[in-house]
A and B are shown apart, each in its own frame.
Chain A
Amino acid sequence: MEVNVELLIGTKVRDADGNDVGRIEEFRVERKDNSCTVESYLIGAAGLISRLSAWTLVRPIARALHARKLYYLYDVPWKDMDLSDPKRPKLRIARGDLRHAR
């Protein structure tokens, strides 16, 4: 199945139980020879900040405001993402089983 990456950005993701997890903000990929494979999807506000390369600006502000929510970021391995409906991506696992990304 073919999916347009640019249309997935910002799409809301739910977990296997139907709970909101966050929005897809970034795709971690590995380049090898002539191919480019997706390793994981980054979901959460921190993914957007990384995408904007804005940590040097946001980190001091987030620290000052104790805005913990800005730091949340899930690193979802490709196996755990179900893109059979690209408009409604969902996880194959529950939110509690997700790994927080650095």
Chain B
Amino acid sequence: MNLVRDVLDKKLIDREDCCMGRVSGLVMHVSESAPPSVTHILVGGPTLWMRVHPFLGRLSKRLATIWGPKRNEPVKIPWSRVETVGRDVKLDVKGKDTGALDWEIWVAQHIIERIPGGGSEEEE
């Protein structure tokens, strides 16, 4: 398997077949004595913006702590939760529990649901 072609930037699907974003980054544990291993999938803005320019990455990290769902750390999903890697990356997690959908929920609750006809993001 090739990491960049087959995993990076792919869509993440949770166990309920819900889209929970894309693979923004991957954390690799490197040591002298063993092959490097991919330990976590990173999801979220600061990781993405870091790929464009470090300044944008730092700015995004700063903004992430002061507005919206306010996160101090990027969303990190252990590689062990990956079920399959194919067209998309299927995970054995519930998207809402990982923090990957925090922004989706925040926008729904603070903006969309306040407009008539917006509905409710909570399941019936």
Contacts and interface: CB of A to CB of B under 8 A. Distances in A.
A56 interface: no
Interface of A is mostly: strand
Given A2-B29, A2-B30, A7-B51, A26 B5 contact: yes
Nearest to B37: A37
A38 interface: yes
B38 A29 contact: yes
Contacts of B50: 4, 6-7
Question: 5 tightest CB-CB pairs across the interface, nearest first?
Answer: A34-B80, A27-B3, A5-B26, A36-B38, A38-B36
12 contacts: A2-B30, A4-B27, A5-B3, A5-B4, A7-B50, A7-B51, A9-B4, A26-B3, A29-B3, A36-B1, A39-B35, A51-B2
Contacts, number: 93
A71 interface: no
B31 A1 contact: yes
B107 interface: no
Interface of B is mostly: mixed
B2 A27 contact: yes
Given A2-B28, A7-B50, A29 B2 contact: yes
Given A1-B31, A36-B37, A36-B38, A6 B79 contact: no
